[in-house]
Amino acid sequence: MKILFVEDEKKVTDALQELCKMQHIECDIANDGEEGLIYSENNIYDVIILDIMLPHMSGIEILKEIRKHGNKTPVLMLTARDTVEDKVKGLDAGADDYLVKPFSAKELFARIRALGRRIESDYVEKLIKIDNFQFDTMNYVAEIDGQPLKLSYKEGMLLEMLIKRPDQVFTREQILDRVWGFDAEVNENNIEIYIHNLRKKLKDTKIRIETLRSIGYKLKVVN
């Protein structure tokens, strides 16, 4: 799971990053509203956590922009005030859940996991079947005509990203961030190598990975 946490209190973000490592969750941090909006536009997160009170741009404003552009990523809003008005305002803007500060780490991660499961079920079943091909998105196990197809871990992550959203274009930057991580020292050539390998392995299926020159890639199912 990969999450975005938009919060201007550094003590809170530092603590959350450490807890995320213990939970094996990747976490990007944005410390103001404008930075949070830029991160959210990558559309690579399973859950986004937004504080309402942020410098430069409020969490509500970020959320409205996210939803305006069709991004359906689950959003958990944070507020220091337990008022009905705040909750209604966030939910009306498109929030999926609400948490009042101060909160326990246990409750926060329980809500993150719940939202992550919700988006998984919204997008696709865990076992994807396309004609003679099937792919277990939880374990990265694939078969063609009932025969096992060997995938590396990175190939599995890349295929999962593409196959869950067929016909959606993913930029090279989005793929690098999601599969290799925001701070990884890799370049776009890595993506091309993995795309090439996946195409070879999927050549006997109806799955095609298309290159959009200077933009990125998308998965397409042919008849």
Tell which residue, 164, 132, 165, 161, has the closest CA to residue 147: 132
Given a cut of 50, whether residue 84 has pLDDT beyond it is: yes
Q: What is the pLDDT of residue 183?
A: 57
pLDDT digits (tens, 9 = 90+) for 168-194: 888 888 888 778 775 567 777 888 999
For the chain, the first-to-last Cα distance in angstroms comes to 32
Q: Which helix (H) or strand (E) holds 217?
A: strand 216-221
pLDDT digits (tens, 9 = 90+) for 16-46: 888 888 888 889 999 999 999 998 887 778 8
Higher pLDDT, 86 or 220: 220
In the chain, which ranges are continuous DSSP H helix?
Answer: 10-22, 33-40, 59-68, 84-93, 105-123, 153-163, 172-175, 188-201
- 8 A C-beta contact, residue 212 and residue 151: no
User: Residue 68, class by beta-carbon neighbours within 10 Å (0-12 exposed, 13-18 middle, 19+ buried)?
Assistant: exposed
d(CA 169, CA 43): 11
State the maximum Cα–Cα separation within the chain, in Å, rounded to a whole number: 57
d(CA 14, CA 20): 10
d(CA 19, CA 150): 33
pLDDT digits (tens, 9 = 90+) for 102-159: 888 888 888 888 887 765 554 445 789 999 999 998 788 999 999 999 999 899 989 9
Q: What is the pLDDT of residue 99?
A: 87
Protein fold of 127-221: Arc Repressor Mutant, subunit A (1.10.10)
If you classify domain 2-123 with CATH, what class do you get? alpha beta
Given a cut of 80, whether residue 167 has pLDDT beyond it is: yes
Q: Where are the domains of the chain?
A: 2-123, 127-221
In the numeric block, which tokens belong to residue 96?
């999926």
The band of 6, judged by pLDDT with boundaries at 50, 70 and 90, is very high
d(CA 214, CA 14): 36
